[in-house]
């Protein structure tokens, strides 16, 4: 099974939760994929954690002042 999570690329609590969910997986039977997004570049420690935990990732840079309507 594949799990895709959207994570803010800068500092924030959602990245801590996303990484802890991956770390807590028993038997590592899931394929994890993170989509990082934000106006900031991905933090280096996020990239290191992705490599360590075997998480595939993609980065979408958001433009300043661009508001998405949901």
CA distance 19 to 35: 13
Spell out the per-residue pLDDT of the chain, length 70, in tens: 899 999 998 888 889 999 999 999 877 788 999 999 998 999 999 999 999 999 999 999 887 776 666 5
The pLDDT assigned to 36 comes to 95
Residue entry with tokens 């106006």: 39
Ordered domains of the chain (ranges, CATH): 2-61 (3.40.50)
Spatial neighbors of 31 by CB under 8 A, at least 6 apart, are 1, 2, 3, 56
Residue 68 has a pLDDT of: 63
What is the pTM (predicted TM-score) of this model? 0.82
User: CA torsion sign, 36 to 39 to 42 to 46?
Assistant: negative
d(CA 65, CA 70): 15
């Amino acid at each position: 099974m594949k799990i895709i999570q959207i994570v803010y690329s800068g500092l924030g609590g959602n990245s801590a939760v996303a990484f802890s969910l991956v770390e807590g997986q028993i038997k590592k039977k899931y394929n994890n994929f993170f989509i990082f997004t934000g106006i900031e570049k991905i933090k280096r420690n996020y990239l290191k954690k992705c490599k360590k935990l075997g998480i595939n990732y993609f980065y979408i840079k958001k433009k300043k002042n661009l508001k998405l309507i949901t």
